[in-house]
Structure 1
Amino acid sequence: MENNKIDGSSLAMAALDDIPQPKENAKHITGLVKESGTITGYQLSDGAVVSKEEGVQLAKAGEISGVGVAHRKDTEYLKSLPDGTENNNLSSLPTVKS
Structure 2
Amino acid sequence: MNKSEGSTHVISKVAKDNQGEITAYELENGEIISKEQAVSLAKQGNISGVSVSTSKKGEEFLRSLPDQNKANNLESLPIIDDNDIY
Question: What's the TM-score once normalised by structure 2's chain length?
Answer: 0.81
Of 55, 64, 72 in structure 1, the residue corresponding to residue 47 of structure 2 is 64
Give the greater-gyration-radius structure (CA): 1
Gaps of 5+ in 1: 1-22
Q: How far does residue 24 in structure 1 lie from its aligned partner after superposition?
A: 5.8
Higher relative contact order (CA closer than 8 Å, sequence separation 6+): 1
CA RMSD of aligned residues (A): 1.5
* Divergent runs of 4+, >4 A: none
1:76 corresponds to which residue?
60
Any idea what SS the aligned residue of 1:87 has? helix
Gaps of 5+ in 2: none
1:90 corresponds to which residue?
74
Q: How far does residue 83 in structure 1 lie from its aligned partner after superposition?
A: 1.5
Number of aligned positions between the proteins: 76
Identity of aligned residues (%): 45
Counterparts of 1:71 and 1:41, CA distance in 2: 17
Aligned AA (2:48): S
